[in-house]
A and B are shown apart, each in its own frame.
Chain A
Amino acid sequence: MRKQLTLVAGIAAFLMLVPACSSTSATTAASSGGSAVGVKSGSATSVADFGGMDALVKAAKAEGSINVIALPDDWANYVAIKKGFAAKYGITVNSILPDASSKEEIDAADKNKGTDKAPDVFDVGANVALSSTDHFAPYKVSAWSKIPDGNKESTGLWVNDYTGVMTVGYNATKFGEITSLDQLTDPKFKGQVAFNGKPAEAGAAFNGFLMVNGAYGGTFENLQPGMDYVKKLKAAGTLNLQDVTSGTIDSGQHGVVFDWTYNQASTTARLKAKGVDWKVFVPKGGEIASYYNQAVNKDAPHPAAARLWEEYLYSPEAQNMWLTGAARPILFDAMKADGTLDATAAANLPTVEGTPATPTTAQATAATAFIKANWNAAVA
């Protein structure tokens, strides 16, 4: 219970010690286990470098497993993707730290560098992708040419994978129809409304904040309207500062959650089985989208499996799984054109008026600084 100072310090020290110890094991692993295939897989930048898809599958199967990180089962239908990959190739998928943040993905790669516990692939937000390119190995999937230039790093260090739209999800069985954010100050929502994390810290919460900000006339440069709205929720007693999980939603602690479409979708499906109608809407003016990015760890312990995972993600099969989870995959338009798109799943995406906006890196950095400086005071 008592998280003594020694514990705090101990954790910090442990975090620092691990890379120090593992750097030695990294060299031994590389020298002893560096078979010809391993070296070749680690430097392969496309499936052609393996000598075709069959050779890649063979190399990946020889490795036997893959470490994926920060992929919760209920996030963008990743449960189906992880299972699908394992079933299709007979490769064990180790899902490590499913609730980690994007930054913690990179930290985990640093700390476990050279061990077989390091993550092989990343799924990170734009900010982390742009500032962590020295951790990535360039790799271009077979579908590379179908991905628009604006959605990928030209050498293949990272590439957009899917996006959602920021939405307000709510328990319609309990609260009836909600059409406007104004309604959320009603006393019946006491302690029910939540962002998915801390806006200055977590991508989903940050974009949730941009959504309410936009809905109240704010822009990526003017974030005061969003902060004023948060203050209003706090004053009305409806804002809930506990972290959102499927458990808190199911138990009724969170009745209104600002989150990505692809997270709301799993909630809708889960609650439907319990007879609860979980609905979503996009507030007018608050249309926000943001792509996540795929990247391969340059120190991946399973380099071939990592690349096969990427090939799998950009196959119509996995792209449609994302779509089923209400995420809009990057190959959406390409698949629509060639007829491989799952039309039923596509029809279930929520309706959005206008084009969802995404802040630039500079705007996001400035907005984070603003939220960091003002958030605590607003919710205190």
Chain B
Amino acid sequence: MTATPTVTGRDAVSASRPVLPGGINVLGTVPFFAYTAVFLVLPTILVAVGAFVARDGSLTLNGITQVMSPRTVGIFATSLWISALTALIGTVCGGLIAYALSLSPAGSLGRRVFTALMSVTAQFGGVMLAFAFIATIGINGLVTRLLTPFPALTPDPGFLSSLGGVALVYCYFQIPLMVIVFLPAVEGLRPQWREATENLGGTTWTYWTRVAGPILLPSLLGSFLLLFANAFSAFATAAALISQESVIVPLEIESALRNENDLGMDAYAQALALGMILVVAVVMALYAVLMKRAARWTP
């Protein structure tokens, strides 16, 4: 997930390096493929199989049937739209911030400090992030307490446990993440392109719609997908904010694994995970296609 829209540029570098003899090059990839096999391929297979196995070991379609139920489809829908919404907010706000940053002098103190700050906040999440918000605008939060004399301004104590609250908290890491992944793309815009547009009689509008826009679009959409997957798979933040309502799929998986009133939900939990894998597989496929296109404009 740390891939930036410009990584494909590495191809050119590696081509100029001498090729080592024998199988040494192949050998170097072994740790990567072993790692992928153990932590990605194997789990995926186990989840796919587990979705059809009941607690007593027999084959079952119950898990899949339950996933198809209107209630579960609703949870998937919520998960999808909240991920899409926070990704959209992140893309728009983060994109604008990244562009603004790219206009500041490269290497200036302000820019370095701001970029460093973005890198930190993009990785700030989970229970700590939830706690930060609870301690600020939760029922006994610092800001809530300060605003108590003004009832109209006091945050609703239930807000953080609502979908709107979760969306707000997600934006805290989505926007900085967008800045980080999108900054290299906007930095790739050459001043010469703009000058060329102006020389040929183009306006700012022409520049953005005919030159910069099309160049940035694949990276922009790719970053959107990255943010989408980031939010879609987030669990701990939402779990800390809302624990008694399964609003998003990861919470429903936890609920199914924990349930002490109904023990037959293991296959359902695996089927939910399988559904998530499918969604992310689609996102990743789209991402790959977009990155292929974006690579054309990378120096």
Interface, chain A (partner B; CB < 8 A): 1-10, 12-14, 16-17, 101-104, 106-107, 124-125, 127-128, 131-132, 190-192, 194-195, 197-198, 200-203, 205-206, 237, 239-243, 251-253, 364-365, 368-369, 372-373, 375-376, 379-380
Q: How far is the CA of A103 from the CA of B258 in the complex (A)?
A: 6
Residues A103 and B157 in contact in the complex (CB < 8 Å), given A9-B40, A241-B242? no
Which B residues from 29 to 61 make CB contacts under 8 A with A? 39-40, 42-44, 46-47, 50
The 5 closest A-B pairs by CB, nearest first: A1-B125, A191-B157, A13-B43, A9-B43, A243-B243
B173 at interface (Cβ–Cβ under 8 A)?
Answer: yes
Q: Mark contacts of B200-239 with chain A using CB atoms, 8 A cut-off: 1 yes-contact digit, 0 otherwise.
A: 0000000000000000000000000000011001111100
Compute the total of residue contacts between A and B using a CB distance below 8 Å. Answer: 168
Interface, chain B (partner A; CB < 8 A): 1, 39-40, 42-44, 46-47, 50, 71, 74-75, 123-126, 129, 134, 138-140, 156-158, 161, 173, 229-230, 233-237, 240-247, 250, 253, 255, 257-263, 269-270, 273, 276-277, 280
**Could you pull out 10 A-B pairs where Cβ atoms are within 8 angstroms?**
A1-B126, A1-B129, A1-B173, A2-B234, A7-B233, A104-B260, A107-B257, A195-B244, A237-B157, A376-B71
Q: How far is the CA of A191 from the CA of B242 in the complex (A)?
A: 12
Q: Which residue of A lies closest to B128 (CB)?
A: A1
Task: Tell me if B173 and A202 are in contact (CB < 8 A).
Answer: no
Task: Tell me if A128 and B161 are in contact (CB < 8 A).
Answer: no
- A192 proximity list for chain B (CB < 8 A): 139, 157
**Chain B min CB distance to A212 (Å):** 14
Given contacts A3-B235, A10-B39, 18 further A-B contacts (CB under 8 A): A1-B126, A2-B125, A3-B126, A8-B250, A8-B273, A8-B276, A9-B43, A12-B270, A13-B47, A103-B259, A104-B257, A190-B158, A201-B255, A201-B258, A243-B243, A253-B139, A368-B261, A379-B245
Partner of A6, one of B40, B71, B241: B40
**Chain B min CB distance to A25 (Å):** 19
Partner of B140, one of A10, A107, A251, A368: A251
Q: Which residue of A lies closest to B129 (CB)?
A: A1
Task: Tell me if A127 and B157 are in contact (CB < 8 A).
Answer: no
